[in-house]
Amino acid sequence: MNTVKHAVIPVAGFGTRMLPLSKSVPKELLPLGDKPAIQYVIEEAIEAGIEHIVLVTHGQKQAIENYLDINFELNTQLEAKGKTELLSKVNWLPNNVKVSAVRQGKALGLGHAVLSAAHVVGDNPFVVLLPDVIIDPFITDYSRDNLVEMIANFESSKRSQIMVEAVADEDVHKYGIAEPLESDSSSGQHNSFAVKGFVEKPDLADAPSNLAIVGRYVFDAAIFSYLEKTVPSVGGEVQLTDAIDALISKYGVDVYQMKGQSHDAGDMITYIKAFTYFSEQQA
Ligand code: G1P
């Protein structure tokens, strides 16, 4: 049975790499083809069995909550006009999926954002999805299995699962990077293996591999107690990567090597490339 029903999605950031587009429209609502970026991420979570979305957000980003809410007046108008196709497009979120929003309060980093959701997630295992990262939904034969397999691995091993993707040398400094174990560390599960640790945004010379954390995590609630003890480090921020590193010494953590490819929708150049690709796929 799948016990992972909660997903934490941090959306409080200002999206400075997407200015001026993100000045008054949250970057998560910018389009990729015919849908806002965050819709792909939430659909991915729902396909993996998630039933409770917890947004970690900011007062200036209420448009995201509105997008996930029911617009009663709009529905009434569309119903009156018999626009059934449009009705299903705006009411895409299944009725059984709950959405909660918590405020981060202070911009203290990704680790702090995840910890801000602790009182809603409680003792439940949960996934974290970073909405800048969109797993290619068009490679349909296997890309959407990634989160499903990560959760299945977690259910059978109870070890946290961190999705990684091999990145080019020049991109290593933008990511949390995994340090593989020297000996064979295959966990005997789908695409996953144990790791020695992680380094947040290393210089290429110090990087232990080119396996980058790409924004999908499955955690036991124990991560919250590690986040409470995590002090600011790289960039003066409370880093999720540091808490994972601490978790490794007690529980062990597996990386899950993703299939397909990811798109970075949080940076102007890569967003434009992704936008073009999504539009072409849907044209
Ligand atoms: C965060 C994480 C980093 C991860 C990245 C993926 O960094 O801290 O470990 O590799 O997301 O997108 P950010 O991009 O928020 O600086």
How far apart are the C-alpha atoms of 223 and 115, rounded to whole Å?
9
Supply the pLDDT for residue 186: 64
Question: For the segment 59-86, what is each residue's pLDDT rounded down to a tens digit?
Answer: 999 999 999 999 999 999 999 999 999 9
Q: 122 CA to middle of ligand 1, Å?
A: 24
Spacing, Cα 165 to ligand 1 middle (Å): 12
* Rounded Cα distance, 210 and 175, in Å: 9
pLDDT of residue 182: 66
What stretches of the chain adopt beta strand conformation (E)? 6-10, 31-32, 35-36, 52-57, 98-103, 126-129, 133-135, 160-166, 176-180, 192-200, 211-219, 253-257, 262-264
List pLDDT tens digits, range 157-181: 999 999 999 999 999 999 999 998 7
Query: CATH code for 6-282?
Result: 3.90.550.10
Measured from the Cα of 13, ligand 1's closest atom is 15
Mean pLDDT on 145-168: 94
pLDDT at 281: 94
Is the pLDDT at 144 greater than 90? The verdict is: no
Distance CA 217, CA 146 (A): 11
C-alpha to C-alpha distance for 6 and 17, rounded to whole angstroms = 28
Question: Which of these, 247, 174, 249, 158, lies nearest to 213 by C-alpha position?
Answer: 174
Check whether the bond before 31 is cis (ω within 30° of 0).
Answer: no
pLDDT at 185 over 70: no
Say whether 98 sits in a helix, a strand or coil.
strand
Residue nearest to atom 13 of ligand 1 (CA): 175
Pocket test for ligand 1, best of 8, 16, 110 (most atoms within 8 A of CB): 110
Q: Is 154 a residue whose pLDDT tops 90? A: yes
Residue 178, strand partner residues = 198
| pLDDT grade for 29, boundaries at 50, 70 and 90 | very high
* Cβ within 8 Å of residue 251, ≥6 positions away: 159, 160, 220, 222
Q: What is the pLDDT of residue 283?
A: 85
- CA 200–ligand 1 middle distance (angstroms): 8
In the predicted structure, residue 149 carries a pLDDT above the cut 70: yes
Counting ligand 1 atoms within 8 A of each CB, the residue from 174, 256, 258 with the most, and so the one to mutate, is 174
Q: What is the pLDDT of residues 216-274, one digit of tens each?
A: 999 999 999 999 999 999 999 999 999 999 999 888 899 999 999 999 999 999 999 99
Closest CA to 163 of 56, 259, 47, 51: 259
Q: pLDDT value at position 125? A: 98
For the segment 48-58, the average pLDDT, to the nearest whole number, is 97
In the reported structure, the alpha carbon of residue 30 is separated from the centroid of ligand 1 by a whole-number distance in angstroms of 19
* Residues whose beta carbon lies within 6 Å of some atom of ligand 1: 110, 130, 132-133, 175-176, 200, 212-215, 239-241
How remote is the CA of residue 86 from the centroid of ligand 1, in Å? Answer: 35
Closest CA to 149 of 6, 49, 61, 7: 49
Ligand 1 center to residue 236 CA distance, Å?
14
**In the predicted model, is pLDDT for residue 183 greater than 70?**
no
249 versus 141: which is more confidently predicted?
Answer: 249
Point out the ligand 1 atom lying closest to the alpha carbon of residue 264. Answer: 12
CB-facing half-sphere around the CA of 122: CA atoms within 13 A: 5
Under 8 Å between Cβ of 179 and 209: yes
Ligand 1: nearest atom to the Cα of 212 = 10
pTM for this structure? 0.95
pLDDT of 214 higher than 80: yes
- The CA 85 to ligand 1 mean position distance, Å, reads 37
- Decide: 237 and 201 in contact? Cβ < 8 Å: no
Residue 192: the pLDDT is 85
Q: Is the pLDDT of residue 155 over 90?
A: yes
pLDDT digits (tens, 9 = 90+) for 90-130: 999 999 999 999 999 888 999 999 999 999 999 999 999 99
Residues 29 and 38 sit within 8 Å (Cβ to Cβ): yes
